[in-house]
Amino acid sequence: MDDTALPQSVPDRDGATILGQVPIEITVSVGFARPVVRDLMRLQRDSVLPLDRRIDDPVELYIGDKLIARGELQELDGDQAGFLGVRLTELANLDEML
C-alpha cells in the first residue's frame, strides 16, 4: 500500500473512532406467531394474535440475523415514561462477531 492509505481506525476529536459513531439498527424480538392463512384472513381490528412466548420470557436482540443479547422488557420512567426499553441480561461476545 502507498503512504496515502487511510489507517484502519481514524480517531475523531474525542479520541473515539469514526466507526464507533456509525448508527446501527437493533431488532428486538418478543416472539413469533404462526397462524394458518385462514386465521390470518379473519384478523380484524382489536383481534389478538397469540405469540409463542410468555409475558415474562426474555426478548432477543438482533443485528441483522445475528443474536447479540437477551433481556427483559421494561417501561421507561421520567421524560420517557410510557416508552419501552430492554434491560440486558445476557450479551454475546461482540468482538467475535466483527
* DSSP letters spanning the chain: --TTSPPSS-B-TTS-BGGGG-----EEE-------HHHHHT--TT-----SS-TTSPEEEEETTEEEEEEEEEE--GGGTT-EEEEEEEE--HHHH-
Q: pLDDT tens digits, residue range 2-56?
A: 455 544 555 656 666 787 888 999 999 999 999 999 999 999 999 999 999 999 9
Return the amino acid letter for 88: L
Is 67:91 a contact under the CB 8 Å cutoff? no
Q: Select the CATH number that applies to the domain covering 18-97 from these four: 2.30.330.10, 2.60.40.10, 3.30.70.560, 2.60.40.1180.
A: 2.30.330.10
| pTM value > 0.95 | no
